[in-house]
A = this chain, B = another copy of it.
């Protein structure tokens, strides 16, 4: 999509898929809200502890169905990339965007196959919430560009990654083996790479004073 898309669009005028994006954002708000609350409810109903190291039930995993839905929803997220390509908004087709979308999909393929229960629920609570706020932001931005809380959205995304890293480090340092430890190691490294990229985006977007060049 990222390599072929720009070539296909080269001779075409940009397409602003307003009606599709309108419905898409509302659907994403509803779906992400559901996944966030349902992940919390699964943890609550199954008596997961407040601190990490929840039980992992390989036979009847209570979180598996929801995790599968979360994985499939990452396919739906690729629509974001399609909208960018159609709009020929190449600046938005950043390394952060492409890296994030591709790797998260591969990572949850791994989770669906090997880490499909227990502590994985927290990533759905956190990411479901952030995605709800993010698609709400996209929806509001279809009405006005004047959104004072834009930078707080990026901040919330970074707080999300800090929570996820903390959970992973807790699992590793306490020697918890209910969730596959090798996945946790890869996960911690991966989330830190995202935290770094988002922090870089935050600094570039909100802290640098505009110069004549990029004003």
A123 to B68, CA, bound (A): 27
Q: Which residue of B lies closest to A37 (CB)?
A: B34
Kindly identify which residue among B26, B37, B143 contacts A147, using a CB–CB cutoff of 8 Å: B143
A138 to B29, CA, bound (A): 15
Copies in the complex: 2
Task: For A132, list chain B residues within 8 Å (CB).
Answer: 26, 29-30, 33
* 15 intermolecular pairs with C-beta atoms under 8 Å apart: A26-B133, A29-B29, A29-B33, A29-B136, A30-B36, A30-B37, A31-B37, A33-B37, A34-B37, A136-B136, A136-B139, A139-B140, A140-B140, A140-B143, A144-B144
In the complex, besides A34-B34, A38-B38, A140-B143, 15 extra interface pairs with C-beta distance below 8 angstroms are A29-B29, A29-B136, A30-B33, A30-B37, A30-B132, A33-B37, A33-B132, A34-B36, A34-B38, A37-B38, A136-B139, A140-B140, A143-B143, A143-B144, A144-B146
